[in-house]
Amino acid sequence: MDLNRRDFLKTASIASAATAAACSIDPRTPVEHYLPYVQVPEDELPGTATYFSTACGECASGCGIVARAKEGRVVMVEGNPDWTEGRGLCTRGHFAVSSAYGPERVNGPTRGGATLEWDAATQEVVAAIKAAQSAGKQVAWLGQYRTGSLDSILSDFAAATGLRRVHWEALGVESLLAATRQAFGVSTLPTYELAGAQVILSFGLDFLGTAYGSMGMMKGWSAAKNPNSGGFVTRLVCVEPRVGITSAQADHFLPPNPGTELAVALAVARIAADKVGYANAGLLAGVDVAAASQLSGITQEKLSEIAGWITEHPSVVLPGGAANAGTLATDLAVVTYLLNDICGNIGRSVVFGKEQSYGPVSSYADARALLEDARAGKIGVLFIDGANPVYNFPTSDNAAQALDAVDFLVQFANESDDSTRAKSLLLPPGSSLEHWGDASVTTGVNTLQQPAMTPLKSSRSVGDTLLALAKAMALPEPVARQQLLLIPLGNSPTADSALTDLPPSAQPMGFAHDSFRLYVQERWKRRVYDGNGDFDAWWTGVRQSGGSFKPAAGGALPLALATTPAMPTAIAGSDLALVIFPSPTLGDGRHANRPWAQELADPISTTNWTSWAELNPKTVERLGLGVTDSVTVKTTSGEITLGFFGSPGVREDTVAVVLGNGHENMGRFGTGRGVSPMKLVSTATDSAGALATYTARASVSRSDATSDFFALIGNLTMDGRPIAMAVSAEEAAAHPTGKAGEIVEIEEVPWDRRLEEQGIHDFFPEPQHPTYRFAMAIDLNSCTGCMACVAACGMENNTPFVGPDQSRRGRVMSWIRMDRFMEGEGEYVDVRHMPSLCQQCSHAPCEGVCPVLATYHNLDGLNAMIYNRCVGTRYCANNCPYTARRFNYHTWTWPESMYLMLNPDVSVREMGVMEKCTFCIQRTRAVKDSWRDVHETVPDAALVSLTACASACPTQSITFGNAKDASGTVSKQFQSPRAYTLLGELNTKPGIRYLAKARHHVPAEKAEGPGHGGGETPAEAEPAEHKEG
């Protein structure tokens, strides 16, 4: 046996090479077919994207979006720049694509796994409605908020059939609406104009996260935080129990004693009223500031200081939202309106006229009454439209039992969920990217939802189903609405009044339309179209721009309060006060079956795919918890066991539990992840009937169960290094314009002082960038850590979702990581978010170590990555100081239907290959290509929001551009006094500069420039007291 393995391989490879050279039939290349269209759709050009302006259907806000379709399938959604709030899209909006391709979508009407024909299903529903009516039972509707045409057709349907409508959402606005009714006598919500507000006082509104209207408020926030726009940096004061995504931006985080936010509001109102000489100061005469201070635990000096800020500067006071849902939520919201009135904000930053309406809004109490009637056997048919009562109701309500008592259940859902019972008839409404619809939330702003692709599965929009039902039931056309015309006495011989028909715009629409598309069109013709010019031309324009965006002018309303709410009492008990907060990605739990929603790390705890509790590190210590321990949280309503995160942003006497996971039936991605906090919640409500989740105390104890909590960003602190930098707001405001380096140090530091003495600053030659040096500026000042960039990057670049197990092995593939640092405690707890991606270095440490030249610096300044050249040594990842590279430990797969959402412009990588941010090379290449046609360099305007992350950013914190263009946006940002390069001392010359956050009250040592490590030895630094699982 002289032939060793090596020789044999050599010989064999010669043999195969000879074969290959002789006749190359590449065995790896399968025969592929090219299937052309039979009849080509209008304007379809294979390989070229088609863009549809439409409306987002992921929540009732109906934001304007643009859907990008390639070869007939939508692969990406982005904000519609024509829309009132401009470009940018919230994190959850991005999930529209993955909802459309959900692998569990049913194909046509389904019951218990069996599929029905649409006609048969319609007949069944009609028969059930008739049976219910003849049996004297009710036909009811339990659904999400609906505006626009669907609200309109539901109104007519309800009028004709006696349908009982309940529109309830777990993160709803019922207490805010009740407060507006009490304070102003209107049933709409004011729009908050944050742009000019120098002080924002928030009592828990998650206006940078899950709150309704957050897209507009994020735009305003971005302007208010920008020292260049008004020469000031807004001061955010948050009075709420937990640091969440919004309060992470707070300059002053003031959690009062649990349940006493109202006392703070009243006391601040009293002091403010005295300061400004408020006309109705008598309203607040009974407020005892000293007692409020005593009750809330916030000093009188601090209360006076807050009152001073909001009265002396343009301000806005935001009412408590879902994060502050106590039994006094409505009262608190009323007092915030009073505060706004005292500060003169009504009509300035709290705007009526251009106001928001979410259609009929019911309270939890209404929804509960409906389920009680169901339990009592009074409901014959129940339609469930986008609601999930079994998950969102307190577990003690046993909503499942109530649903079982309904004779006939109809659920408008594409996939079964917790509320699907064995007898539920699923009528799939399809994706919002497949059907017609509209939304009308802000006065004068109407977004049109139009199909961007043919339905993936047999589905009918809710509107179409209602039309079909109305036709099958032969519902009478609604009678014309009339108005009473009063005629002065004596002018008419026969009557002193007469009935006349209202104009068509006020008439009910009826059910005669052949499809919901025509219904929507007719409604727009009557209600939105202004009658000028040809309607068809106008309608074409609307379909191109995605709606009609003419927001009404803002105005004021007089505050009409007779009394002010009484002083609250703190939540009784000695245990920890329980706070339930919504997950920024899962919302109220409706997105739990979206793999991206699960994969995105929570911006505060940085965990994914599970639930967790948040405890103050001191509480953790007191309870003797170790990092892998779980905690059992127990209230009188129930108990749950889950992992915990030690967050300095929670009071020591408070425990916060996340809402969104813990589903029993939510598809393959959502079922059985984490636990539902609704087990802990009692059925207490506030005065508006809203569910009060912040009312109880919970005992927290160590559990023997293993925790599945894991922080993807393991470190809370920057360990004294200048990573996500902050400067004082005063200094930033004093330098609205200026030169780079004025506030923070930007210089790259020579790595070797001996070379510096010789005047040599670089070991490597400077790369040449003849035309472009693609670059990015990230303004940490307006960045909220919302994760929209991460979501958009994943969609655009086909990065796989890896699931909980692989995430916990550090194999998250997302090209952007949202770094989170959380230092300090108490009022000045300092949370900083930082989107961290490939810095596209000019002197990239990764490039020199690649043995096969799979990564190199290209002419456009990009650090290129050639996948099929990569052999997977991972040297580059080891050498990257920014941890920007991701290695494919597996060939990741998607569920079958989700392959359709992959972006065909981007390679799908496989096992053994390194990957990282490319600055969306497919987009830069495409835009360069179109400008090459006219032989021009790509202008700044075409680049500024080009990459997926920049396009997605709701606060426009990310700007992209060509650093060679001195007048470009990015070049200007690069010259900001707040600009710095990350780890500049490594002299990597990144293509990204960060703009330091401007914060009121920056601890002195944190405001230093990147410097040279600060001079301290690491031993002097405090060891990180961080608990992670």
* 10 vs 622, beta carbon nearer another protein: 10
Which residue of 753, 935, 1005, 1020 would you call a contact of another protein, by CB under 8 A? 935
Q: Does 932 bind another protein (CB under 8 A)?
A: yes
The strand pairing partners of 655, in sequence order, are: 578, 615
Helix (H, G, I), strand (E, B) or coil at 534: coil
What does the per-residue mask of binding to another protein show for 888-907, with x meaning CB under 8 A?
-----------------xxx
Q: Does 2 bind another protein (CB under 8 A)?
A: yes
- Site size for another protein (CB under 8 A): 57
Which residue of 1, 422, 484, 562 would you call a contact of another protein, by CB under 8 A? 1
Which residue of 372, 501, 805, 929 would you call a contact of another protein, by CB under 8 A? 929
Q: Whose CA is closest to 316, among 174, 444, 213?
A: 213
Q: Does 16 bind another protein (CB under 8 A)?
A: yes
Shortest separation between residue 922's beta carbon and another protein, angstroms = 6
Alpha carbon 360 to its chain centroid, in Å, reads: 23
* 71 vs 730, beta carbon nearer another protein: 71
Helix (H, G, I), strand (E, B) or coil at 995: strand
* 632 vs 907, beta carbon nearer another protein: 907
Which residue of 42, 301, 933, 1005 would you call a contact of another protein, by CB under 8 A? 933
Which residue of 107, 497, 737, 868 would you call a contact of another protein, by CB under 8 A? 868
Shortest separation between residue 11's beta carbon and another protein, angstroms = 4
* 24 vs 1017, beta carbon nearer another protein: 24
* 17 vs 479, beta carbon nearer another protein: 17
What does the per-residue mask of binding to another protein show for 760-779, with x meaning CB under 8 A?
----------xx--------
* 412 vs 772, beta carbon nearer another protein: 772
* 88 vs 800, beta carbon nearer another protein: 800
Q: Does 397 bind another protein (CB under 8 A)?
A: no
Part of the chain binding another protein (CB under 8 A), chosen from 17-25, 97-105, 241-249, 413-421:
17-25
First-to-last C-alpha distance (Å) of the chain: 56
Dihedral over Cα of 604, 607, 612, 616: its sign: negative
Cα separation, 207 vs 221, whole angstroms: 9
Q: Does 47 bind another protein (CB under 8 A)?
A: yes
Q: Does 454 bind another protein (CB under 8 A)?
A: no
* Tokens linked to 152: 């309109």
Q: Does 925 bind another protein (CB under 8 A)?
A: yes
DSSP 555: B
Cα separation, 74 vs 406, whole angstroms: 38
Q: Does 29 bind another protein (CB under 8 A)?
A: yes
Helix (H, G, I), strand (E, B) or coil at 726: strand
* Tokens linked to 598: 């699960």
* 36 vs 1018, beta carbon nearer another protein: 36
Per-residue CA distances from 669 to 103, 417, 457, 902 (Å): 10, 12, 20, 18
Which residue of 25, 474, 489, 537 would you call a contact of another protein, by CB under 8 A? 25
Q: Does 45 bind another protein (CB under 8 A)?
A: yes
Q: Whose CA is closest to 283, among 563, 567, 568, 566?
A: 563
Q: Does 809 bind another protein (CB under 8 A)?
A: no
Residue 408 burial class via C-beta count within 10 angstroms: exposed 0-12, middle 13-18, buried 19 and up: buried
Burial 700-726 (b: 16+ CB within 10 A, else e): beebeeebbbbbbbeebbbebbbbbbb
Cα separation, 750 vs 761, whole angstroms: 5
Q: Is the separation of the CB atoms in 423 and 411 below 8 Å?
A: no
Q: Does 21 bind another protein (CB under 8 A)?
A: yes
What does the per-residue mask of binding to another protein show for 621-650, with x meaning CB under 8 A?
------------------------------
Part of the chain binding another protein (CB under 8 A), chosen from 39-47, 308-316, 642-650, 685-693:
39-47
Which residue of 5, 6, 22, 896 would you call a contact of another protein, by CB under 8 A? 22
What residues contact 864, with CB distance under 8 A and at least 6 apart?
855, 856, 857, 858, 918, 921
Part of the chain binding another protein (CB under 8 A), chosen from 4-12, 324-332, 479-487, 556-564:
4-12
Q: Which of residues 844-863 bind another protein (CB under 8 A)?
A: 856, 858-860, 862
* Tokens linked to 821: 């640092």
Per-residue CA distances from 848 to 763, 767, 864 (Å): 12, 13, 13
Q: Does 927 bind another protein (CB under 8 A)?
A: no
Which residue of 5, 6, 24, 474 would you call a contact of another protein, by CB under 8 A? 24
Residues 916, 917, 922, CA angle at the centre, nearest 5°? 120
* 30 vs 558, beta carbon nearer another protein: 30
Q: Does 921 bind another protein (CB under 8 A)?
A: yes
- Bridging pattern class, strands 315-318 and 164-167: unpaired
What residues contact 119, with CB distance under 8 A and at least 6 apart?
none
Q: Does 869 bind another protein (CB under 8 A)?
A: yes
Q: Does 3 bind another protein (CB under 8 A)?
A: yes
HSE toward the beta carbon, residue 497, CA cutoff 13 A: 6
Cα separation, 266 vs 146, whole angstroms: 34
Q: Which helix (H) or strand (E) holds 216?
A: helix 214-225
Q: Which of residues 475-534 bind another protein (CB under 8 A)?
A: none
* 378 vs 869, beta carbon nearer another protein: 869
The residue ranges that bind another protein (CB under 8 A) are 1-3, 7-8, 11-12, 14-16, 18-25, 29, 31-40, 45-48, 770-771, 856, 858-860, 862, 864, 866-869, 905-908, 918, 921-922, 925, 929, 932-933, 935
